[in-house]
Structures are given as C-alpha cells and as structure tokens.
Structure 1
C-alpha cells in the first residue's frame, strides 16, 4: 500500500489491474434521454467513497455528488436540462430556475442575483443603451470547450483525477468573458478542488460578478442537519424569515408552501484568509464543507428552500452583496475588467465522515 496505508500505489494497482480505473478514475459519457439528452458528462470516482459528475455542457458545473452512496448534491425537479432548451429572457428573467439542479450552479460572468436593465453605453453601440439580465446571468447554460481530462500520477503514491474546460460568454458589441475551469480530486480522496479564472478577452471595460450556488439536498439534508459557519453578524434577510421563522441553523422536515428564506451573513475569515461553511448530518455521521478565498468571495448567502418536493439548502459565496448589479455600480463595488485582466477563484468542496 502507499504511505498513507489507504490508497494503493501506482505499482500496486498495476500489479493487480490493467488500468487505474479499476480503483478510480474519470469517464466520459453522454446523457441520452429526457431533457438532459445530449449533455456531455464526466464521471469522477475517487475510490475513496466520493462520486461526482461534471456537466461539460452546463459550464462544467457539478451535478450529481455522492459520498459513500449518499446523495449530497441537490436533485431538483428540473433534472439536468440541456442548455439548448434554455430561454434566457423567458418568465421575466426567471427561466434560470428551470435548469437549477446539482451541487454547484455557477452564476455570472457579468451579472449575478436578480435581473433588470443596467447601463451598457460603455460598449459604444448606439442601439444598445442598456442590457437586460436575468436571474444569476448567462454562464450556467453555456457549453464548455473540453480541454482535457484524465488521471495523472504526480508521484508513486499520488494520483490526481482532473478535467479542464473553457466557457466563453460573448456577444458582438458587448461582453467577451472567458471562464477557464479546472476540477481536481485525488485518487482515494473525498474533496473536490475547483479553480476558476475569469478573463476579459474583449477590449471594452466589462463588469464582472461571480457566485457559486452550492446546493445540498436529501438524503444528506435531513431532520437535524446543522448549518455551521463563523457568522459575525447577519447583514440582511428576506421578509419571509420573520413571517415563517424557520430555523436556519438546524433544519427540520419539508414544509408545504414554504417561501424561500435568504440571509446575507458577514463571515469571519480564518487565519489563512478563508471562509469555511458547511453542513453536518449527525445521524449519518457525514459533513460537507465549502472552503473559499475570503478576498475573492467577500460575501456569503444562505438559501433555504424548505418546500415539499424541492427541499434544499444553498451555500453561496459571492463577489458582491445581495443588493446586486445596479447597487454595485452605484456604490463603486462593481468589478470592472480591462482587456486581459483576470480574476482567480480557488475553492474546495470537502465531503467527510464524523465518526
């Protein structure tokens, strides 16, 4: 066995099997039925109990995610819907909700949070004085160019499962932003490393907003599951919090007609400059943690969707406060990227056992 006495070494796997995938690996498949037909998927199996799927045609977001066969990533009623079915401007900009499912749904690249009209005169195209955004922007429904994937032995006892892709959000007389995404997991491991780089490939100054909608569902989310975070104070909450009063620290059973409760929490960073938030299910002896750079993602939202039939809790690191696009432009907090300028986001999603 390898030095940690749990994961086979490269030699040991070779002695027992013809390829690394006998223990763990990455496999490319294509969904072939229903609303997801045609979506390219990369299946990651670490051999350490972690299984997850990367939706290549959904901006390389993470769909299914399981630890020891227990579903962690939210499976919403929409399923994993092909981006060709997406209509960005439908339902007054709320059509994003028709393809919202899975562990990670990315929001951006030039807009997050609720939609509306904002100034577009910086693009210098007279017919386009404003641009209208829908909920959480466009990026989640753009297919990626798959750069590569596979299993790399970086040492005799250390193999990295990986995938890389590039998502281009562009239009004529508007934004030209590129998301370069790399996803890694160690053979035998129980964490996902997500590294995103957003670049302005265009020549106009372009707004940039970014958010991860990290969604956890049943059966990991269950009666008694706890939300764990170092909250210094809560900056904002929806009116539904006072109206319903559902606990946002310990969760109970799904409720009929529940109205979403959303909170913006100001988190304390740890000594490494990271924000760490998570959920713990004591009955299952399992936990899930989101670990992000506090400088890159200074804001954080907690989303409670405790409604029957769509039960989920969302952990949302964000570049901007809940007031959104127009407010960020007014108060000067909007990020403007010049040509060639980039922002990098290095995040970790940890799955673990408490027992």
Structure 2
C-alpha cells in the first residue's frame, strides 16, 4: 500500500471520489435505544485517521466511547452510559455518581468536585437554605446539553474540522446559575480531540466554581505493562491503600481480586508553553495516549488506579483544586468565586498516537 493512500484527502479529492464526506470521515447524530442508555443523543465522530469517538449530548457532552485504530481506549465500565433521567444525585451518601461513571471523559463540577458533604450556602440569601449538600464530583455530568450545532467545516482547501457545540445549564432557584459552553473539535484525518470549555456565572450571586476532568482509560489499550508518563515534580498526597497494597502506579499490573482504588495527587512540571502533559504508553501495541491541559487553568492533577477485576481502569484527572476538596478550598481561600458574567476558560487536547516498537 503506497504512502499516498494514507494522505488526508483535500476538499477536491473528496469531491472527485464521493458525494458524501462521511465516506472518509464526519459527524453523525444518533440516539441510543436499549437498556439504561435508551434515549441518549450521541454524536459519532470518525476522523478517517484511525480515531473514532462518541459525544454524549445528554451527558453534558462528555466523551464516551473512544477508539484508535480499532482499539478501545476510553473505559467501558459496567454501568454503561446511563441515561441522566435514572440518576439519583443524593443516593448512597452522595456516591451515586459511581452508577453512571463510564467513558473517556466524565466532567466534574460546576460548583463542586471531589467527595461530597454539607457546605455553607448563606451567600445565596435564602433563609431555608443555610447549607447545600454535594455528591461526589458534583452535578454536571448528568445534565443534558442543549445542542447548538455540529458538522464538518472546511477552513481551507486541505483542512476540514469536525465539530460540535452545546450548552449545559446547572441552575436552581435561590442557588447557582452556571453555564458550561462546550466545543469539541477533531480534524478530518486527525488523531486528536480538542476540547474547549467556558464556564460562566449567569446568576447575580457570587458562586463557587470547581472543575475537573475524570479521563478514564481502559482495556484493551490499558494492559499489563502499560506505562504512565508524566513530568512529576513531587507526589504531594496518596491514599493509604498505596502503602497497604504496594502496587506500582507507573507500570500497571494485571487485574487484581479485591483491589482497593489508589489515588495520587502529583505536582506536575509545566512545559515551556505552560502546559501539563501526561500520558499512557502501551509498548506491545505500539500505541500512546496523551492528555495536554493548561497548567494555569488546571494547576492540580490526580492519578486514579482501579486495577480491580471487572473494573480495570486508570484515570488522569486535571483539576482546579487540591484533593482536600470543597470545604478545604473555602477555608484556605483557594475556592474560585465567580461574579455575575465572570468566565473561566479551559482548553485541552487528547492525543492518540502510534509509537515505534
């Protein structure tokens, strides 16, 4: 097979060979129709460069299935991509988020991340609401988006961008009114996903803001011997299970019976462009996955190991706040408070690649 065969076709090339760009790659809207996933709107992205992924419109436009060269990279957990109408936010002492945790990207926020509990709500000036109770990683991941557009756009004769945009509103009366505007892009023929998020306080009360991406990688890309690669300056915190189990967090073990999750907070060294870049490498498959985020927007980073049989996964988690969470951020002054119209912007890249054997 010649090298020419692998070149991304130009706009003229495609027009000469087909009347439908999706013969090579594109974006298609579908609706899932069975089990707990029934009714979820999905956008299927196929770049033609080996990358395929699904945007879950009714799950905050998070990224569910993600495959590269036919190999599943995004974690497929036992929960499936559960319809948000089934979500029970306050159930199981706030841990019900775990009943809908699956896919490459599950977003945490918009006013809370990490473990839950009661925090002060008197800034909303509603006497019956002195506190608010949060669950694990907040509410946003189970809120449907308003889809504002998607498709294929030629930005030059030799570059076409596959894109989708939507708006997720997290709001209540006498409480927060936060809006997440999300844009997802991938180039035709490309091997990366570009995610741009803007979070705005549309309300008139000062509102806390916390944000996190739970980026989950699973089998078969994740395999015994897959390596974690990052410029770690210092590991500033880890769960007790690390010392108890002694399982390496840099080169991964095969699934283990009864494994207790291990979580680390690493302080990363930013590159010359002010970015944090972390990745996973599977040498046997000669494949790599890299997460590239703005270090100033996401100064904190967690690594999650779930090496238990039946749920094998590794999580890469860029975060606005340290692992101690909401109450600690309020106490030490690190909580982000958004005034009316104030916005935070997050620009991240997910790269899929082939390595030399």
TM-score (norm 2): 0.98
Q: Which residue of 2 aligns with 1:76?
A: 77
> How do 1:148-227 residues align onto structure 2 when only pairs under 5 Å count?
148-227=149-228
For residues 246 and 210 of structure 1, the distance between their equivalents in structure 2, rounded to whole angstroms, comes to 28
Aligned pair 1:13/2:2, yes or no? no
For residues 243 and 108 of structure 2, the distance between their equivalents in structure 1, rounded to whole angstroms, comes to 27
Following TM superposition, by how much is the alpha carbon of 1:103 offset from its aligned partner in structure 2, in angstroms?
0.1
For residues 319 and 282 of structure 1, the distance between their equivalents in structure 2, rounded to whole angstroms, comes to 32
Describe the SS at the equivalent of 2:16.
helix
Q: Which residue of 1 aligns with 2:291?
A: 290
For residues 343 and 179 of structure 1, the distance between their equivalents in structure 2, rounded to whole angstroms, comes to 10
Q: Which residue of 2 aligns with 1:251?
A: 252
Q: Which residue of 2 aligns with 1:47?
A: 48
Aligned pair 1:146/2:147, yes or no? yes
For residues 131 and 95 of structure 1, the distance between their equivalents in structure 2, rounded to whole angstroms, comes to 17
For residues 9 and 213 of structure 2, the distance between their equivalents in structure 1, rounded to whole angstroms, comes to 34
Describe the SS at the equivalent of 1:290.
strand
Q: Which residue of 2 aligns with 1:352?
A: 353
Q: Which residue of 2 aligns with 1:332?
A: 333
Q: Which residue of 1 aligns with 2:137?
A: 136
Describe the SS at the equivalent of 2:137.
coil
For residues 164 and 245 of structure 1, the distance between their equivalents in structure 2, rounded to whole angstroms, comes to 43
Following TM superposition, by how much is the alpha carbon of 1:4 offset from its aligned partner in structure 2, in angstroms?
11
Q: Which runs of 4+ in 1 moved over 3 A?
A: none
1:166-199: CA deviation from partner (whole Å, max 9, x where unpaired) = 0000000000000000000000000000000000
Describe the SS at the equivalent of 1:277.
strand
Q: Which residue of 2 aligns with 1:30?
A: 31
Following TM superposition, by how much is the alpha carbon of 1:19 offset from its aligned partner in structure 2, in angstroms?
1.6
Q: Which residue of 2 aligns with 1:281?
A: 282
Aligned pair 1:234/2:243, yes or no? no
Describe the SS at the equivalent of 1:132.
strand
Following TM superposition, by how much is the alpha carbon of 1:25 offset from its aligned partner in structure 2, in angstroms?
0.1
Following TM superposition, by how much is the alpha carbon of 1:69 offset from its aligned partner in structure 2, in angstroms?
0.4
Describe the SS at the equivalent of 1:150.
strand
For residues 22 and 75 of structure 1, the distance between their equivalents in structure 2, rounded to whole angstroms, comes to 27
Following TM superposition, by how much is the alpha carbon of 1:5 offset from its aligned partner in structure 2, in angstroms?
7.1
Paired residues, what number?
Answer: 355
1:70-119: CA deviation from partner (whole Å, max 9, x where unpaired) = 00000000000000000100000000000000000000000000000000
For residues 88 and 250 of structure 2, the distance between their equivalents in structure 1, rounded to whole angstroms, comes to 35
Describe the SS at the equivalent of 1:65.
strand
Q: Which residue of 1 aligns with 2:343?
A: 342
For residues 319 and 43 of structure 2, the distance between their equivalents in structure 1, rounded to whole angstroms, comes to 26
For residues 343 and 326 of structure 2, the distance between their equivalents in structure 1, rounded to whole angstroms, comes to 19
Task: Evaluate the alpha carbon distance shift between residue 124 and residue 9 of structure 1 in structure 2; reply closer, same or farther with a 3 A threshold.
Answer: same
1:111-152: CA deviation from partner (whole Å, max 9, x where unpaired) = 000000000000000000000000000000000000000000
**Structure 1: where are the runs of 5+ without partners?**
none
For residues 10 and 188 of structure 1, the distance between their equivalents in structure 2, rounded to whole angstroms, comes to 12
1:210-233: CA deviation from partner (whole Å, max 9, x where unpaired) = 000000000000011000000000
Following TM superposition, by how much is the alpha carbon of 1:252 offset from its aligned partner in structure 2, in angstroms?
1.4
Aligned pair 1:321/2:295, yes or no? no
For residues 44 and 306 of structure 1, the distance between their equivalents in structure 2, rounded to whole angstroms, comes to 29
**Structure 2: where are the runs of 5+ without partners?**
none
TM-score (norm 1): 0.99
For residues 337 and 247 of structure 1, the distance between their equivalents in structure 2, rounded to whole angstroms, comes to 39
Task: Evaluate the alpha carbon distance shift between residue 4 and residue 335 of structure 1 in structure 2; reply closer, same or farther with a 3 A threshold.
Answer: farther
